[in-house]
Homo-oligomer: A and B are copies of this chain.
Amino acid sequence: MNAHEALAAHIAEYHDLLCILNTLKWDMRTMMPAAGAASRGQQLATLSKLAKSIFVSDETARLLDAAEAESAGAHPDSYQARTLRQTRDAYEIQRRIPADLVGRMAAFGAESEAVWARAKDEDDFASFKPYLRRMLALNIELAGAIGYEEHPFDALVGQFEPGMTATRLGVIFAELKTRVLPLLERIIAADAPLPLNLWEAEYDLTTQEKLCREMTALIGFDYERGRLDCAPHPFEISFTRDDVRITTRYDANYLPMSLFAALHEAGHGIYEQNIAPELTRTALSADLIGQYAVGGASSGAHEFSSRLWENQIGRSREFWRLHFSRLRARFPDQMAAANAELFYRAVNRVRPSLIRVEADEVTYNLHIMLRTEMEMALLEGAIAVDDLPEVWNAKMQEYLGLTPPDDRRGVLQDVHWSFGGFGKFPAYTIGNIMAAQVLEAAHKQMPALAGKLAEGDYQTLLTWLRENIYRHSRAYSTDELLTRVTGDGLNTSPLLDYLERKYADLYKLN
């Protein structure tokens, strides 16, 4: 075994442990009886600690040194060289993060999340404040350990989006606001109720599940290498490309909840299932900093795939023109008076709302900007935890013209800050931007694509995405991938063009 193979064998076993952690998490969120929570917590803690100790061990350093010496002449662009660089970077960062800090964050995060859940239930921000203050301090400590040049947020967002910074996000957000806010104003002025409310009927849950299975298989999620289950907070998780689990949730009245969550998670799953087989059990199929077995260039790149299949494909007029009959076959009574166009309008209605997870394509990014801007301000000390409700409500008014009647539907709505997940929100917006860029490039490079999609041929797009994006997993950064595919880095114009085009048509804005 040469040095490269020896390192690969070591990382493969580390990767196995990360996949096992994913299995434990999947089971916890879908199958585990409630009473199993305490034991599962101990199992996760033990295995996480063990995995981390293996990755930051002197053994890893020894194997890395040897592999680097052996690969000195390798082409810097090869998978091998990229694997080595990413492993080295993650190793150095992991060695800088004190094991003790990770332990404190995990332990305090569990407690803080429980306090947050109660505070949200009881609309009691005051009781959550000391926890949020401490969690903020821990995140500042973490940012310091990871290291950054300009802004502590750069260290935190960099865990999920290598290369992303507060400054760059500031530019992106400004570009988005300049065109989204006027668009939203025009939409609101033109909005009118639809002639029929489809969400007053009851939709049998077993039939909803069958529909979700049918539609996700249709766009290319491979059930030979995956499964769909139910979870209160839908998610996708993989235990290698050959075993990818997706979930959705059901509301007997509101069919879009299960359907679009399933398409969204299937979009994530399709990314994982189409990673090159030779990258299985390698550093390029794991977030080595987050210690999480996941492929894809970044969190944002993963959201690119989910958003693309959920929105750009799954909420398109062409999609429902073709497949509305499938929907009606499953729900003949509920859809008796509807048609493809009405359904298309119903699942694309734009309405400013207080809740992020219910937001449409136009307002969604405004919710993300609000949160991200507040995170940055908290980290740099420009605002204090005490100010949060006031700042939140002012921004809600500025971006969406709404003021939350209480903190439950305001600053307390998301779990992220409670467990310490600072820097995670931008991924959603990056994903939206990237989806528009990539799909625009795909149409340019394949003039026949629109016709294929209109005929229900999704394999052409999926194959192109596999070749250009999916198969590389984490080998290229988001910017590198985009430059290879579109000739440009992250660029907001295609998303803004797409939104203006789609909603001008939907709302007859000119």
- CB pair A47–B35 under 8 Å, yes or no, is no
Q: A376 contacts the other chain (Cβ, under 8 Å)? A: no
Whether A31 sits at the interface, judged by CB under 8 Å, is yes
Instruction: Name A15-63 residues within 8 Å CB distance of B.
Output: 16-17, 19-20, 23-24, 27, 31-36, 38-40, 42-43, 46-47, 50
Produce 1/0 per residue, A251-295, CB < 8 A to B. 000000000000000000000000000001100000000000000
| Contact digits for A73-116, partner B, Cβ 8 Å, 1 yes 0 no | 00000000000000000000000000000000000000000000
Contact among B23, B43, B280, B281 for A16, CB-based, below 8 A: B43
Size category of the A interface is: 20 to 34
A36-B243, A42-B281, A242-B39 known; A24 vs B20 contact (CB < 8 Å): yes
Which chain B residues border A43 with CB–CB below 8 Å? 16, 19-20, 23, 239
Binds B, one of A192-200, A223-231, A314-322, A385-393: A223-231
With a cutoff of 8 Å between Cβ atoms, the chain B residues found around residue A13 in the complex are 46, 50
| Contact status of A36 and B242, CB under 8 A, knowing A24-B23, A43-B19 | yes
Across the interface, do A243 and B40 meet the contact criterion of CB distance under 8 Å? yes
Would you call B35 and A224 a contact (CB within 8 A)?
yes
Contact of A39 among B19, B39, B46, B50 (CB under 8 A): B19
| Identity of the chain B residue whose Cβ is nearest the Cβ of A240 in the assembled complex | B39
How far does the alpha carbon of A39 sit from the alpha carbon of B15 in the complex, in Å?
Answer: 11
A36 to B40, CA, bound (A): 23
Chain copies in the assembled complex? 2
B16:A47 contact, CB within 8 angstroms: yes
A225 interface neighbour in B36, B239, B242, Cβ under 8 Å:
B36
Which residues A368-415 have CB closer than 8 A to chain B?
A: none
Bound-complex Cα distance A35 to B20 (A): 16
> Which residues of B have CB within 8 Å of A224?
33-35
Query: Which one of B33, B46, B223, B226 lies within 8 Å of A243 (CB-CB)?
Result: B33
Closest chain-B Cβ to A53's Cβ sits at a distance in Å of: 11
Name the residue of chain B whose CB is nearest to the CB of A32. B243
Across-interface contacts of A38 in B (CB, < 8 A):
242
Q: How far is the CA of A243 from the CA of B12 in the complex (A)?
A: 30
Task: Give the interface of A toward B (CB within 8 A).
Answer: 12-13, 16-17, 19-20, 23-24, 27, 31-36, 38-40, 42-43, 46-47, 50, 223-227, 239-240, 242-243, 280-281
Q: A38-B242, A40-B243, A43-B239 are in contact. List 15 more A-B contacts (CB 8 A).
A: A20-B20, A20-B24, A20-B47, A23-B43, A27-B27, A33-B223, A33-B224, A33-B225, A33-B226, A33-B227, A35-B225, A36-B225, A36-B239, A39-B242, A39-B280
For the complex of A and B, 5 pairs with smallest distance between CB atoms: A36-B243, A16-B46, A39-B240, A35-B225, A35-B242
Chosen A-B contacts, 17 in total, with CB atoms closer than 8 Å, are: A12-B42, A17-B46, A17-B50, A19-B43, A20-B20, A20-B24, A23-B43, A33-B223, A33-B225, A33-B227, A34-B224, A35-B225, A35-B242, A35-B243, A40-B239, A40-B243, A43-B239
